[in-house]
């Protein structure tokens, strides 16, 4: 199985990656190889294998509903590229 | 029974709803930050809900418990195995770049909830529920356009709070049905203690999918493209938006003839002030979210016995409660609906009262007229009502045994509410004493003697003329019981020698 240039361009858009035509060509080759490795599995008969939802065998890991202190606001927003002491600031998000 | 309003239209409106409700947990879904509305921005965050590298989510047991209770009350099948998935998209209020949601194995599916109009404006409508799943909420982005700044401000307090998504099948057939069904859903969730369903604070949010089925001249059915409506901030705006959108789609179909399949699904936002829906950007297709199993959370399993035990332990639903009130207390469906709509605490007050006075109808009348009016006027709930059910039962008991009439009883009750005093104290303070038998007999004899015209009318068969005597009796002694005055006067007149 191989991916087309358009498949890769679409995934790049969804991932917010701006790729040049050269990069698109390179990614198309490399991603096709990865998909190719995975499609080796298609050679196996998996009809009697249960789907696996999680690699760990455990289930039902819960925590109790008990509050713990949150971060102070200064710390919460400290690493933001832009902030006003209260909120994270991002380029305008207008009504969509 | 009147027909649905839409039957006048040359089409059927087909509506499905997608409802998000915030769960009433103390903490968020995957971290121990408080789940609380109204805190200063970004004061309820931690590395987990900020999506910082190296942090890991752990499921809140209470959130899962509330979610299962809600789905059970909605008649859903609860899955014995459920898992969570990543829904990938970029938005500034979603710090991880994905939302932890449920995709192919939601914890519940295939439920139902009926919409019943208490006044019978439409036939009861059973609405199937496709699925209910548990996911995390996003944060809030705020943009003050008047400030003229280029930036939006992001508050992540809400990020990671538990959210229940309830998706109905497109089974609703009018905007009024949709509004009624939402009301029933909200009441159910509030009764369960699952959510406060406050639309103003965003703890209940509704999106609607709507299209029209239009019978054509050749007998076939035209189906208009499905439109998803967002930004509806009240049940009233849901009804208005759907009404507007149905009319808009009919006009568009007449102009363009476009049918389902010939145009992509459109998203439109409701503008409440303008009273119209406006087109928004096209919705990303489901596959564009590139769902995959969440590796940071393990699946949750329930045994059939555990699911059965949850079902056993469910409290009475509003629907079952209405039915029981109607049957036990012999009150109308409408009255039961009003009482149940006020919440479980008020129903408990009513039932205590009904038991004490041993009369559901009378108890219901006092609830609806006196108690509810006071609650509305004072803007309080029954928990803050100053008179206990026993106090009101005392008043009603005194009316029943003839100490005073209903209107006098009302005045006494109003005084009890205002002063916080008991019926006995108010009666004493207002100088209201039960009128003795001798006193009443003397009064009635005087009235009969003083009103020969009324006596003659009664003797000629006009019993209602005795009403004139009651008015005079109340003037002479406001404490007299009108029923007793009437009965006694009629008896005295009947015993007079024929004139
Ligand atoms: Zn947190």
Place of tokens 């002063």: B419
For residue B3, what pLDDT band results from cuts at 50, 70 and 90?
Answer: very low
Q: Name the domain count of chain B.
A: 3
CATH code: domain of residue B480: 1.10.10
Q: Please count the CA atoms within 13 angstroms of the CA of B322 that sit on its side-chain side.
A: 21
pLDDT grade for B432, boundaries at 50, 70 and 90: low
Buried b (16+ CB within 10 A) or exposed e, B51-88: beeeeebbbbbbbbbbbbbbbbbbbbebbeebbbbbbb
The minimal CB distance from B46 to the residues A54, A70, A95 is found for A70
- pLDDT-wise least confident of A33-47, B150-164, B357-371, B469-483: B469-483
B34 contacts A65? CB cut-off 8 A? no
Residue B106 corresponds to which tokens in the numbers above? Answer: 């939601």
Q: Is the distance from CB of B284 to CB of B89 less than 8 angstroms?
A: yes
Q: What are phi and psi of A73, to 5 degrees?
A: -55, -40
For chain A, the residues whose C-beta falls within 8 A of a C-beta of chain B are: 14, 16, 53-56, 58-68, 70-73, 76-77, 82, 84, 86-96
* B311 inside domain: no
Least confident stretch, A44-53, B56-65, B252-261, B279-288: B279-288
Q: What is the pLDDT of residue A96?
A: 43
pLDDT above 70 (res B250): yes
A14, A62, A90 ranked by CB distance to B92: nearest: A90
The answer on B390 and B445 residing in a single domain is no
A12 domain residue, yes or no? yes
**Dist CA A68 CA B46 (whole Å):** 10
Residue B28 in this model has a pLDDT that exceeds 90: yes
Residues B421 and B474 in one domain: no
- Of B403, B387, B474, B471, nearest in space to B437 by CA: B403
Q: Which residues of A touch B44 (CB under 8 A)?
A: 70
Q: Contact at 8 Å (CB) between B124 and B98?
A: no
Comparing CB atoms, the residue among A63, A64, A93 nearest residue B141 is: A93
| Beta-bridge partners for B205 | B20
In a domain, B6, yes or no: no
Q: Which residues constitute the domain of residue B456? A: 437-495
Q: Quick one: B4 exposed, middle or buried, by C-beta within 10 A (0-12, 13-18, 19+)?
A: buried
Best of B67, B141, B151 to disrupt the A interface by mutation (most A CBs within 10 Å)? B151
Which domain CATH number covers A39? Answer: 1.10.20
Please state, for a pLDDT cut of 70, what percent of chain A lies above it.
95
Same domain, B142 and B207: yes
Q: Domain boundary residue among B429, B450, B484?
A: B429
Interface test with B, best of A18, A31, A62 (most B CBs within 10 A): A62
Choosing among A87, A91, A95, A96, which should be mutated to test the B contact, i.e. which has the most B CBs within 10 A? A87
Cβ atoms of B291 and B309 closer than 8 Å: no
The sign of the CA dihedral B447, B448, B450, B454 is positive
Instruction: List CB contacts (< 8 A) between B281 and chain A.
Output: 96
Q: How many domains does chain A have?
A: 1
Across the range B233-262, mean pLDDT stands at 92
Cα dist. B297→A62, B60, B240 in Å?
A: 10, 11, 41
pLDDT of residue B62: 95
* A21 to chain B, closest Cα gap in Å: 22
Measured distance CA(B261)–CA(B226) in Å, rounded: 9
- What distance in Å separates the CA atoms of residue B176 and residue A67, rounded to the nearest whole number? 41
Mean pLDDT of B87-116: 94
Domain span at residue A38 reads 5-43
| Residue B414 or B164, more confident | B164
Radius of gyration of chain A (CA): 22
Q: Which residues of A touch B27 (CB under 8 A)?
A: 65-68
| Cross-chain CB nearest to B152 (options A53, A66, A93) | A93
* One-character DSSP codes across B99-122: EEE--SS-SEEEEEEEE--TT-SS
Q: What are the angstrom distances between the C-alpha of B439 and each of B384, B402, B416, B496?
A: 41, 14, 28, 20
Residues forming a β-bridge with A91: B151
Same domain, B285 and B345: no
The ipTM is 0.89
Across the interface, do B60 and A63 touch by the CB < 8 Å criterion?
yes
In B183-317, beta strands by DSSP E: 204-215, 221-223, 227-232, 266-271, 276-279, 292-293, 300-301
Residue B195 has pLDDT above 80, yes or no: yes
B1 falls within a domain: no
**Residue B87 pLDDT > 90, yes or no?**
yes
Give dist(CA B469, CA A28) in Å, integer: 101
Question: Please, which residues have CB within 8 angstroms of residue B277's CB and are 6 or more apart in sequence?
Answer: B227, B229, B241, B244, B245, B248, B268, B269, B270, B271
Please indicate whether residue A24 or residue B465 has the higher confidence score (pLDDT).
A24
Query: Is residue B313 packed enough to be buried (19+ CB in 10 Å), middle (13-18) or exposed (0-12)?
Result: exposed
B342 and B281 in one domain?
A: no
pLDDT at B148 exceeding the cut of 70:
no
Tokens of B74: 């909605």
Residue A24 lies in a domain: yes
Quick one: pLDDT at residue B423?
A: 85
Whether residue B64 contacts residue A62, with contact meaning beta carbons closer than 8 Å, is answered with yes
Residue B105 · residue B293 · CB < 8 Å: no
pLDDT beyond 80 at B412: yes
pLDDT at B259: 87
Res B4 pLDDT > 80: no
* Interval between CA B26 and ligand 1 midpoint (Å): 12
The answer to the question of residue A84 being in a domain is no
Q: Which residue has the higher pLDDT, B257 or B95?
A: B95
Query: Across residues A62-86, what is the average pLDDT?
Result: 95
Q: Quick one: what percent of chain B has pLDDT higher than 90?
A: 58
Give B75 to chain A, closest Cα distance, Å. Answer: 23
How does DSSP assign B280-348, residue by residue?
A: -PPPPPGGGG--EE-TTS--EE--HHHHHHHHHTPPPPHHHHHHHHHHHH---HHHHHHHHHT-HHHHH
The set of residues, in sequence order, having a beta carbon less than 8 Å from that of B224 and lying 6+ positions away, is B211, B212, B214, B249, B250, B252, B253, B258, B259, B260
Domain membership flag for residue A96 = no
**Distance, in angstroms, between B88 CA and closest chain A CA?**
9
Per-residue pLDDT band at B93 (split at 50, 70, 90)? very high
CA distance B235 to B205: 10
Residue B433 binned pLDDT confidence (cut-offs 50, 70, 90): low
User: Does a structural domain hold residue A48?
Assistant: no
- Determine, for residues B90 and A71 on separate chains, whether the beta-carbon distance falls below 8 Å: no
Answer whether residue B2 is part of any domain. Answer: no
Tell me which residue of B175, B177, B171 sits closest to B244, measured CA to CA. B175
- Cβ neighbours for B166, distance < 8 A, ≥ 6 positions apart: B17, B18, B19, B20, B21, B70, B74, B129, B132, B185
- Among the partner-chain residues B32, B64, B298, the one whose CB lies closest to the CB of A56 is B298
What average pLDDT does the segment B50-56 reach? Answer: 94
Q: Which of B271, B305, B339 is the last residue of a domain?
A: B305
Do B42 and A91 lie within an 8 Å CB cutoff?
no
pLDDT digits (tens, 9 = 90+) for B207-233: 999 999 999 888 899 999 999 999 898
On whether residue B25 sits in a domain, the answer given is: yes
Distance CA B289, CA B21 (A): 22
- Tell me what the mean pLDDT of segment B279-290 comes to: 70
Residue A57 lies in a domain: no
Report yes or no on B7 lying in a domain: no
User: Between the CA of residue B394 and those of B269, B363, B387, what are the distances in Å?
Assistant: 54, 12, 11
Residues B283 and B327 grouped into a single domain = no
Q: Assess contact for B165 and B31: CB atoms under 8 A.
A: no
Residues B239 and B331 occupy one common structural domain: no
* Residues B383 and B468 grouped into a single domain: no
**CB B116 within 8 Å of CB B184:** yes
Mean pLDDT on B281-300: 80
The total of other beta-carbon atoms located within 10 Å of residue B427's CB is 23
Sheet holding B98-101, edge to edge: B98-101, B85-88, B292-293
CA A43 to chain B, closest CA, distance in angstroms equals 23
Residue that terminates a domain, selected from B406, B429, B452: B429
Residue A72: inside a domain: no
């Amino acid at each position: 199985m191989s991916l087309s240039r358009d498949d890769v361009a679409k995934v790049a858009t969804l991932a917010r990656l701006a790729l040049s035509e050269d990069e698109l060509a390179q990614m198309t080759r490399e991603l096709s190889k990865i998909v190719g490795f995975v499609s080796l599995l298609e050679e196996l008969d998996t009809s009697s294998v249960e789907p696996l939802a999680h690699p760990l065998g455990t289930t039902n890991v819960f925590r109790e509903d008990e509050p713990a202190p949150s971060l102070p606001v200064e710390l919460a927003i400290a690493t933001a590229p832009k902030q006003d002491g209260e909120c994270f600031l991002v380029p305008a998000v207008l009504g969509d | 029974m009147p027909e649905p309003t839409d039957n006048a239209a040359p089409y059927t409106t087909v509506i499905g709803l997608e409802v998000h409700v915030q769960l009433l947990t103390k903490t968020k879904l995957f971290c121990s930050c408080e789940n609380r509305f109204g805190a200063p921005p970004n004061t309820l965050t931690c590395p987990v809900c900020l999506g910082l590298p190296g942090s890991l989510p752990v499921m809140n047991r209470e959130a899962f418990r509330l979610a299962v209770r809600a789905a059970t009350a909605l008649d859903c099948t609860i899955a014995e195995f459920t898992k969570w998935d990543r829904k990938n998209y970029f938005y500034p209020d979603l710090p991880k770049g994905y939302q932890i949601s449920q995709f192919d194995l939601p914890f519940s599916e295939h439920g139902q909830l009926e919409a019943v109009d208490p006044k019978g404006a439409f036939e009861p409508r059973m609405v199937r529920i496709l699925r209910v799943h548990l996911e995390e909420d996003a944060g809030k982005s705020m943009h003050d356009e008047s400030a003229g700044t280029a930036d939006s401000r992001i508050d992540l307090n809400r990020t990671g709070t538990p959210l229940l998504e309830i998706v109905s099948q497109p089974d609703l057939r009018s905007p009024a049905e949709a509004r009624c069904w939402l009301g029933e859903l909200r009441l159910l969730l509030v009764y369960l203690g699952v959510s406060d369903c406050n639309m103003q604070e965003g703890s209940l949010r509704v999106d609607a999918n709507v299209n029209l089925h239009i019978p054509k001249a050749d007998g076939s059915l035209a189906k208009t493209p499905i439109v998803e409506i967002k930004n509806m901030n009240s049940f009233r705006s849901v009804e208005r938006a759907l009404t507007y959108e149905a009319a808009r789609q009919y006009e568009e179909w007449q102009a363009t003839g476009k049918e389902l399949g010939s145009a992509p699904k459109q998203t439109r936002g409701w503008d409440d002030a303008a009273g119209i829906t406006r087109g928004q950007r096209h919705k990303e297709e489901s596959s564009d979210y590139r769902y995959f199993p969440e590796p940071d959370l393990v699946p949750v399993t329930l045994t059939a016995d555990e699911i059965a035990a949850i079902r056993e332990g469910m409290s009475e639903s509003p629907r079952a409660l209405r039915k029981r009130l109607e049957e036990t207390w012999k009150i109308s469906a409408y009255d039961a609906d009003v009482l149940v709509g006020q919440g479980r605490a008020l129903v408990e007050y009513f039932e205590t009262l009904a038991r004490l006075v041993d009369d559901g109808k009378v108890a219901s009348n006092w609830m609806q007229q006196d108690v509810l009016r006071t609650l509305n006027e004072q803007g309080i709930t029954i928990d803050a009502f100053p008179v206990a059910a026993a106090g009101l039962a005392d008043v009603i008991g005194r009316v029943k045994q003839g100490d005073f009439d209903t209107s006098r009883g009302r005045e006494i009750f109003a005084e009890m509410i205002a002063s916080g005093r008991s019926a006995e104290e108010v009666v004493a303070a207002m100088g209201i004493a039960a009128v003795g038998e001798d006193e009443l007999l003397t009064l009635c004899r005087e009235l009969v003697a003083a009103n020969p015209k009324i006596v003659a009318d009664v003797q000629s068969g006009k019993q209602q003329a005795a009403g004139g005597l009651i008015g005079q009796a109340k003037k002479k002694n406001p404490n007299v019981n009108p029923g007793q005055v009437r009965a006694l006067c009629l008896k005295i007149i009947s015993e007079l020698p024929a004139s």
